[in-house]
């Protein structure tokens, strides 16, 4: 306990006066303690980092004794914990949570970040309707010791208007809090909100900025549905039927009884939500599963909406078959325990291949497929991702891959007669690496790309550097959005008076 809180007691705070608690103490953020890479111990820090002069033996013994029972710092820690439990109505078991090890864990995590070269940041803004408060969630993703790691840098309450300048300042404060320099930022991923785009683009530039790929895919689907004549009306018919049954207790009971009578497990109807990805697909898919039971219910009620005819049912089926591709893409690309940035180009090709395999027979299905496969329909939201990839590829030309500097001439008075030949040989080696790599068999889907590249490191040293760089990134802002699911649960289970303490003192669940 003493080791876990020694960093906490180093602040000059008056425990009896909660208003004097420092901002650093209140910044109790969480990160994924389940990082697969071991954290360096606190003892690995050199004493010179904390003291200009070597501490005396007497001073060290007194410092150690202050943490023992009855010691000064032991008393201060105990009083601070008691005050926290009483003030926030927390159970006594809260002292067993990982949040109490924050100072030590955060210090270790900062040391890990110092060893990392490429870091991807995801960020998103969420508003809590009951308290009308807004929050900025930030996560970090990187490769450490050949393992892909993800962590939550924190959820921060926003107290001003969400201008681009304000969001940018808050983001820079987060990076400063965790000692993350801009030079290490591989990419910052946000949704397609104009304010977020401006906030990131102006400070970090297009080279280090990516739109959320999953969000772009769903925007493309929404735009395509609007282009197909009659499709929105057909979806509205399904929506009205779902609303009618869900709003009626009798109809809901009949739905359950008919499914039990048929020996099927009970399934509820799903109503689409504008802000939820793939919700139209889920609503229509469940409607098709229960269409026989739904028709029986509608026929019993005079005020029920009209039943869909056979052709309309077939149109819904073809629409669901097409949208199923995008739903699977959204799930695949929203992963967090594996790199997704490197999947973008392959997934776009897979989308087109799967669409080509579908052969709709009715006008709505044919048009829906045509607009989705149309370059304009997809590129409208994905062209930025493609251009960003091109920019990053062009930037790699400035990277020095040379491993042999012994032949270079540092003295301008010396002439390297074979310098031109050495340059040609080096370029030839790079081209040879690419040619050899492209001729190798394609790996299976269950292959761990990081472990694979560790095995190919000696064979393709130049490509290895690029591969591990972009395998560390994610291409969606889903990880930062997942933070708010934990926070929403926390809000529902906490009293409103606790908001006075501030969002930064809460111990959030780990990123998954």
Same domain? For 121 and 77 the reply is no
Final residue belonging to a domain, choices 71, 96, 121: 96
pLDDT at position 101 is 60
Q: Is the pLDDT of residue 488 over 70?
A: no
Dihedrals φ, ψ of 89, to 5°?
55, 45
- Contact by Cβ (8 Å): 151, 177: no
Tally the residues of the chain.
512
Q: For the chain, what is the domain count?
A: 3
User: Which domain does 370 fall in, by range?
Assistant: 217-378
- Of residues 400 and 505, more confidence is placed in 400
3-state secondary structure of 136: strand
Q: Is the pLDDT of residue 17 over 70?
A: no
- In angstroms, the CA 448 to CA 270 distance is 36
Q: What is the mean pLDDT of residues 406-435?
A: 60
263: left (phi over 0), alpha (psi -120 to 50) or beta: left
Same domain? For 128 and 221 the reply is no
Could you report the per-residue pLDDT of 168-222, keeping only the tens digit for each? 999 999 999 999 999 999 999 998 888 898 888 888 887 788 888 888 888 888 8
Tell me what percent of the residues of the chain surpass a pLDDT of 90: 31
42 is a domain residue: no
129-141: burial string, b at 16+ Cβ within 10 Å, e else? eeeeebbbbbbbb
- In angstroms, the CA 281 to CA 278 distance is 5
Final residue belonging to a domain, choices 44, 71, 96: 96
- In angstroms, the CA 261 to CA 201 distance is 58
Q: What is the mean pLDDT of residues 452-463?
A: 87
51 is a domain residue: no
Return the H-helix or E-strand segment holding 316. helix 310-333
Same domain? For 69 and 189 the reply is no
- Of residues 492 and 271, more confidence is placed in 271
Same domain? For 221 and 329 the reply is yes
- In angstroms, the CA 418 to CA 460 distance is 25
Tell me the β-bridge partners of 140. Answer: 121, 151
pLDDT at position 37 is 36
pLDDT at position 420 is 63
Could you report the per-residue pLDDT of 85-99, keeping only the tens digit for each? 887 777 777 776 656
Same domain? For 236 and 205 the reply is no
- Contact by Cβ (8 Å): 152, 31: yes
Going by pLDDT thresholds of 50, 70 and 90, the confidence category of residue 367 is very high
Hey, what long-range contacts does 388-394 have (CB within 8 A, 24 or more apart)? 388/187, 388/206, 388/207, 388/209, 388/210, 389/344, 389/345, 391/206, 391/207, 392/207, 392/470
Q: Is the pLDDT of residue 503 over 60?
A: no
7-44: burial string, b at 16+ Cβ within 10 Å, e else? bbbeeebebeeeeebeeebebbbbbbeebeeebeebee
Q: Is the pLDDT of residue 69 over 90?
A: no
262 is a domain residue: yes
The domain that holds 150 is classified in CATH as 3.30.420.40
- In angstroms, the CA 467 to CA 462 distance is 9
Hey, what long-range contacts does 40-43 have (CB within 8 A, 24 or more apart)? 40/108, 40/111, 40/112, 41/108, 42/3, 42/104, 42/107, 42/108
Greatest Cα pair distance in the chain? 99
Residue 359, CB half-sphere, CA atoms under 13 Å: how many? 0
Q: Is the pLDDT of residue 508 over 50?
A: no
Question: Of 126-135, 324-333, 379-388, 393-402, where does mean pLDDT reach its minimum?
Answer: 393-402
Same domain? For 169 and 256 the reply is no
Could you report the per-residue pLDDT of 98-153, keeping only the tens digit for each? 565 666 677 788 888 999 999 999 999 988 777 788 899 999 999 988 888 888 88
pLDDT at position 237 is 96
pLDDT at position 415 is 62
3-state secondary structure of 139: strand
Same domain? For 197 and 106 the reply is yes
Q: Is the pLDDT of residue 333 over 60?
A: yes
Mean pLDDT of the chain: 75
Going by pLDDT thresholds of 50, 70 and 90, the confidence category of residue 360 is very high
364: left (phi over 0), alpha (psi -120 to 50) or beta: alpha
- In angstroms, the CA 477 to CA 210 distance is 9
Give how far the C-alpha of residue 437 lies from the chain's centroid of Cα atoms, to the nearest Å: 30
- In angstroms, the CA 95 to CA 112 distance is 26
- In angstroms, the CA 103 to CA 66 distance is 18
Q: Is the pLDDT of residue 484 over 50?
A: yes
CB burial class (10 A; 0-12, 13-18, 19+) of residue 123? buried
Same domain? For 223 and 370 the reply is yes
Tell me the β-bridge partners of 187. Answer: 120
Q: What's the N-to-C CA distance of the chain in angstroms?
A: 27
Hey, what long-range contacts does 394-397 have (CB within 8 A, 24 or more apart)? 395/207, 396/466
pLDDT at position 213 is 87
Tell me the β-bridge partners of 157. Answer: 135
177 is a domain residue: yes
Same domain? For 226 and 373 the reply is yes
Same domain? For 229 and 312 the reply is yes
Per-residue tokens: 332 = 């695949």
195 is a domain residue: yes
Final residue belonging to a domain, choices 73, 96, 119: 96
Same domain? For 194 and 238 the reply is no
Q: Is the pLDDT of residue 461 over 50?
A: yes
186 is a domain residue: yes
Q: Is the pLDDT of residue 419 over 90?
A: no
pLDDT at position 36 is 36
Residue 41, CB half-sphere, CA atoms under 13 Å: how many? 3
222: left (phi over 0), alpha (psi -120 to 50) or beta: alpha
Give the dihedral sign, CA 467/471/477/478: positive
Same domain? For 253 and 288 the reply is yes
Could you report the per-residue pLDDT of 225-245, keeping only the tens digit for each? 999 999 999 999 999 999 999
* CB neighbourhood size of 286 (10 A): 19
Q: Is the pLDDT of residue 259 over 80?
A: yes
282 is a domain residue: yes
255 is a domain residue: yes
């Amino acid at each position: 306990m003493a080791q876990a809180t020694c960093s906490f007691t180093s602040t000059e705070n008056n425990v009896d006066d909660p208003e004097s608690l420092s901002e650093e103490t209140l910044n109790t953020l969480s990160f994924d303690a389940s990082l697969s890479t071991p954290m360096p111990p606190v003892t690995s820090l050199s004493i010179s980092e904390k003291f200009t002069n070597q501490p005396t033996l007497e001073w060290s013994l007194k410092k150690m004794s202050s943490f023992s029972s009855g010691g000064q710092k032991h008393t201060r820690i105990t009083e601070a914990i008691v005050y926290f439990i009483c003030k926030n109505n927390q159970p006594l078991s809260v002292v067993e949570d990982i949040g109490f090890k924050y100072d030590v864990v955060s210090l270790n995590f900062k040391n890990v970040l110092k060893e990392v070269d490429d870091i991807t940041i995801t960020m998103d803004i969420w508003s809590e309707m009951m308290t009308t408060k807004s929050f900025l969630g930030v996560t970090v993703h990187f490769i450490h010791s050949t393992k892909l790691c993800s962590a939550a840098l924190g959820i921060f309450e926003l107290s001003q208007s969400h201008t681009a300048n304000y969001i940018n300042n808050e983001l820079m404060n987060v990076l400063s809090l965790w000692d993350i320099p801009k030079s290490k930022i591989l990419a910052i991923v946000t949704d397609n909100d104009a304010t977020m785009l401006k906030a990131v683009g102006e400070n970090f530039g297009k080279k280090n900025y990516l739109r959320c790929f999953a969000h772009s895919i769903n925007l493309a689907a929404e735009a395509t549905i609007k282009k197909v004549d009659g499709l929105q009306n057909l979806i509205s018919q399904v929506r009205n039927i779902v609303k009618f049954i869900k709003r009626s207790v009798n109809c809901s009971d009949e739905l359950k009884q008919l499914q039990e009578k048929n020996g099927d497990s009970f399934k509820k109807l799903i109503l689409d939500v504008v802000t939820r990805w793939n919700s139209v697909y889920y609503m229509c898919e469940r409607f098709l599963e229960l269409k026989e039971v739904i028709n029986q219910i509608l026929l019993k009620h005079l005020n029920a909406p009209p039943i869909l005819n056979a052709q309309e049912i077939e149109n819904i089926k073809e629409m669901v078959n097409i949208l199923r591709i995008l739903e699977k893409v959204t799930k695949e690309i929203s992963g967090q325990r594996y790199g997704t940035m490197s999947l973008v180009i392959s997934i776009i090709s897979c989308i087109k291949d799967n669409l080509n395999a579908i052969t709709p027979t009715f006008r709505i299905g044919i048009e829906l497929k045509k607009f989705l496969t149309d370059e304009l329909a997809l590129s409208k939201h994905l062209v930025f991702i493609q251009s960003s990839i091109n920019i990053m590829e062009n930037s790699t030309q400035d990277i020095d891959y040379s491993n042999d500097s012994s032949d270079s001439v540092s003295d301008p008075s010396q002439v390297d007669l074979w310098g031109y030949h050495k340059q040609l040989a080096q370029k030839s080696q790079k081209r040879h690496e690419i040619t050899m790599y492209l001729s190798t068999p394609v790996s299976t889907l269950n292959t761990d790309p990081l472990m694979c590249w560790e095995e190919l490191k000696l064979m393709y040293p130049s490509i290895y550097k690029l591969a591990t760089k972009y395998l560390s990134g994610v291409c969606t802002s889903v990880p930062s959005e997942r933070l708010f699911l934990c926070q929403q649960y926390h809000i529902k289970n906490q009293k409103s008076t606790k908001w006075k303490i501030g969002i930064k003192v809460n111990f959030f669940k780990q990123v998954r």
